[in-house]
Amino acid sequence: MQTHKAKRVEITIEAVMERRLTTALVTAGVTGFTVLPVLGGSGRSGQWSREGQVSRAGGMVSVVCIVRADKLDNLLDAAFSVVERHIGVVSVVDCEVLRAERF
C-alpha cells in the first residue's frame, strides 16, 4: 500500500497548559492533534503519579500531532513559545501515513 512521509510530534506538558498549547497549534495552522492523559512518570523533578494529584496543577497531558515536513518549523515555534518556561518534553520522529491529504 502507498504510504507518505510525515513528522510525528509528541509534546508532553502540564495539564494546565493544554489549552494554551492547542490554541497556539491551531493558530500556527496545525489542524489535527490528539490529547492523551499521562498516568505518571519520572523526570528531573523526581517521580510523580496522577494518582497523588488533587488538582490539574500536578497532572500532565501528551499532545500528539502528525504534520507534513514543511509545516514542522511552524509547529515547533508555536509549541516552544508555550512550553519554554514549563516542565515538558517535545520530541519529533519520522512516520508514514496512508492519506497524505489529511495532514
Partner 1 sequence: MDGIFALAVDNLLSPIILFFALGLLAAFARSDLTVPESVAKGMSLYLLFAIGFKGGASVAAHGIDATLLLSLLAGLILSFVLPFVAFTLLRVMTGLSVTDAAAVAAHYGSISIVTFVAATSVATSAGLNSEGYMVAVAAVMEAPAILSALWLIARYDSSGSGKMEAGLLQEILLNGSIVLLVGSFLIGVITGAEGLAKIAPFIVSPFQGVLCLFLLDMGLVAGRGLREARDVLRPGLFLFGMVMPLIGSMFGLGAGLLLGLSPGGVMLFMTLSASASYIAVPAAMRVALPEANPSIYLTLSLGVTFPFNLTLGIPIYLTIAQALTGA
- C-alpha dihedral over 87, 34, 75, 92, to 10 degrees? 70
Q: Is residue 41 at the binding interface for partner 1, with CB under 8 A as the rule?
A: no
Q: Is residue 2 at the binding interface for partner 1, with CB under 8 A as the rule?
A: no
Instruction: Please select the residue that binds partner 1; options are 1, 44, 51, 101, rule is CB under 8 A.
Output: 51
- Measure the CA–CA gap between 86 and 7, rounded to whole angstroms: 23
Q: Is residue 42 at the binding interface for partner 1, with CB under 8 A as the rule?
A: no
CB of 40 to partner 1, least distance (A): 10
Q: Is residue 57 at the binding interface for partner 1, with CB under 8 A as the rule?
A: yes
- Measure the CA–CA gap between 28 and 11, rounded to whole angstroms: 15
- What lies within 8 Å, CB to CB, of 11 at 6+ separation is 21, 62, 63, 64, 65, 79, 83, 88, 89, 90
Instruction: Please select the residue that binds partner 1; options are 1, 85, 94, 99, rule is CB under 8 A.
Output: 85
Binding positions for partner 1, rule: CB under 8 A: 14, 16-17, 20, 45-58, 85-87
